[in-house]
Amino acid sequence: MKRQIIRLGMAMLIVITTAAAAWLWTQEYESDPDPAARFVIEAARVEQDHSRYWLELHLKKNGTEEHDLFKPVRLITADGEIHEPSKTDFAGNPKEGFTDIWFKFWLEKRDMEKNIELKINDGTLKVKTGGEAPNPPQGEDMVFKSSDWRKSWLGF
């Protein structure tokens, strides 16, 4: 009888752990993105470069409207500081439209410590909501699949 209880407990632990990991892995970046932005954030990648950070945002097309190349793209920090992309890469082609866009920003640590938004086309997307600045080891990166960059109870 005692072994059956232990086996049942272990099975329940495995099921709960697997469900929690699946929920974290499939969590969307933003459940209700601004449709005027025309894109949604798929992931944010952060790499520390000495005392500064590279923030790379991967955006995926959301809807039928194309990205307006004549409108500026701006990253806005909680204190109102505006940053322009250091690098922009597109997937797709100009005739059929771009399906994915990657924007790369060069930021200071204080820029990474609070909320961050991205102004694109006529909309605004949440990049980061609260939490402290990420601290990836030198030469490594961290990838975030939601705007909540705090560590989960699982440690990542």
Secondary structure of the chain in HEC code, one letter for each residue: CHHHHHHHHHHHHHHHHHHHHHHHHHCCCCCCCCHHHCEEEEEEEEEEECCEEEEEEEEEECCCCCCCCCCCCEEEECCCCEECCCEEEEEEECCCEEEEEEEEEEEEHHHHCCCEEEEECCEEEEEECCCCCCCCCCCCEEEECCCCCCCCCCCC
Q: Look up residue 135 and give its two tokens.
A: 């601290």
For the segment 85-113, what is each residue's pLDDT rounded down to a tens digit? 999 999 987 777 889 999 999 999 889 88
Structural domains in the chain, CATH included, are 30-144 (2.60.40)
For the segment 47-71, what is each residue's pLDDT rounded down to a tens digit? 988 888 999 999 999 888 888 889 9
Q: Exposed, middle or buried: residue 11 (CB in 10 Å: 0-12, 13-18, 19+)?
A: exposed
Residue scoring higher pLDDT (15 or 79):
79
Give the pLDDT confidence score for residue 153 in this predicted structure.
44
